[in-house]
Chains A and B, each alone.
Chain A
């Protein structure tokens, strides 16, 4: 890691595990948006209606800028109860 990169943890769940890892620590460019991860793992367009939790808080907007140390959990649309 240097001044132009950050370290984040990314976790994929449920049906999205066919595209991304259960859990991986990544070094990515600073100021990357959430969308960066979808591109990196080639998530098909029709699977991008995902639920994204950044540090345990739900985010709808894929343009959210990621910060060093963030934990990003990515789920497909989910229900239950």
Chain B
């Protein structure tokens, strides 16, 4: 069976398999989604209208034995940014799609009427099932019910109440290995795109699937061995290393110490109370209350940065509390209590919200006087407004920029309509260049300058120096390439420092594809993906003035370093 595209037409509820076009053969993940979106979606379309499409694509090596490679990319035109979007997540769902030899699912059209549908996908074919009984409900209960109905071996992709509201803050939610709704392609409102078409869930079961075709087993095995060696030996990614021991929240303390952990809606970069919600504190608490640490988001991951946070006594598992989530729902909202943060993260997962956008939204709502900074219980009540679909809830579900404007807030931390992640660009300037210039809107993963600026990985540069155009560009190109492979971006910590690891990555791609790529091809692959995205955005109306940070980052000094974002506009324009 050759690799296929599954085209899902929601207008007439038809799902058809097509052969993968030859020129898509070497594409995967972000390379696949951005290519298809650029080719098939009108850049000027209404993101929630008939002309937008939702594209899901596993990576090139996803579904194989390659370590830490269970990523899925979700693409389309974003209702949050108005530009092209790719958001990725780690989930068994992606591995199952790949084993069924599905290179991409393209969801198009729009179902008339108010019904929601579930698409069931197995080796035998597809089936549409009315999903109204699983709508207008929280995803924790629904994912449990879906596993009861379809078996606990299925992978689930779904959207929640926030997506039903067509909120610009609504993610696409994937199940983790235990079926929790905790793995999100969160950013950019892609959940609303899916819901706008009348599609609520995709259930996949790969029983009897043929598996991923590997053109050259020998090269493939050699490649993944090199990568495995790099991941198990590098201090950041190895078992028992900081990421494995404390999860991504291990960053709370270091970014706080560096003065770049935004507090109370980006009004300071440091607060001693942040320690209370650090990775160290969380790991200890997880042990005490019977959660799980480490944990993997997809089978075959070596790094295993994930965890399962729960209530005391091991009750009511939430899933992972990532660094970005802990920060957004914590210090940026003046909240320094892991129980409150855990329940806010649960609410986000349950409602289908991106945690970064939700936390930034709560923070501007606090600044706008809806509730006080630090009011965790009040923040949970705001989440309940979304659940009850009240007018306030509908505003909040549209994210930080809209909420800020409605409430008369001028300090709104967004680029291209998408809210900033957990690093203040006044204290760590390279990441600010990435926020400003990536086609995605403010997105740290697009070019993670924190690695060389703070961690000394892939070089060492001064975080306060404004000369960052080149470092951001190089990381953005490398990242676009990694996002196409299906590998987790965290492999970069190891392969940026260990050349054999990067060689192994390239060999694993050659093994699957039967190509002769070299390490020198990585940056050009990334460049071609980003060029495709930039071209789409240009046609959608983006100009260089959209590649800027909000004015307050240039005017308000951030304690403790008391610096502003001073990267010249000409440097920002020189990135691409």
Contact = CB atoms under 8 A, between A and B. Distances in A.
Question: A and B: real partners?
Answer: yes
B276 to A, nearest CB: 12
A79 interface: yes
B259 interface: yes
A80 interface: yes
B249 A60 contact: no
B251 A81 contact: yes
A73 interface: yes
| Residue among A76, A77, A81 with most chain B CB within 10 A | A81
Contact of A57 (B235, B254, B279, B464): B464
B561 A77 contact: no
Contact of A58 (B251, B456, B489): B456
A81 B248 contact: yes
Interface string B552-563: 000000001100
A79 B561 CA distance: 23
Contact of B454 (A14, A15, A58): A58
Contacts of A17: 280
Nearest to A49: B235
A1 interface: no
Nearest to A72: B257
Contacts of A13: 253-254, 257, 280
Contact of B237 (A14, A57, A71, A79): A79
A75 B455 CA distance: 9
A2 B326 CA distance: 43
A51 B455 contact: yes
A35 interface: no
A15 B347 CA distance: 31
A14 B463 contact: no
A53 interface: yes
Interface string B249-267: 1110110011100000000
Given A49-B235, A77-B242, A56 B254 contact: no
Contacts of B460: 58, 60
Given A51-B254, A60-B460, A77 B236 contact: yes
B359 to A, nearest CB: 16
B448 to A, nearest CB: 6
A73 B323 contact: no
A81 B305 CA distance: 11
Contacts of B270: 56
A14 B455 contact: no
A30 interface: no
A73 B253 CA distance: 9
A80 B560 CA distance: 23
B462 to A, nearest CB: 7
Interface in A23-81: 49, 51, 53, 56-58, 60, 71, 73, 75-81
B245 A77 contact: no
B280 A76 contact: no
Given A51-B254, A58-B454, A58-B456, A14 B236 contact: no
A79 B257 contact: no
Contacts of A56: 257-259, 270, 427, 560-561
A49 B236 CA distance: 11
A81 B236 contact: no
B547 to A, nearest CB: 22
Contacts of B305: 80
Contacts of A51: 254, 454-456
Contacts of A57: 258, 462-464
Interface string B455-467: 1110010111000
Contacts of B259: 56
A81 B242 CA distance: 13
A75 B254 contact: yes
Interface hub of A13, A57, A75 (most chain B Cβ within 10 A): A13
Given A15-B245, A80-B243, 5 more contacts: A15-B241, A17-B280, A51-B254, A80-B250, A80-B251
8 contacts: A51-B454, A56-B257, A56-B258, A57-B464, A76-B235, A77-B236, A78-B251, A80-B248
Q: Which 4 A-B pairs have the closest CB atoms?
A: A77-B235, A80-B248, A79-B236, A79-B493
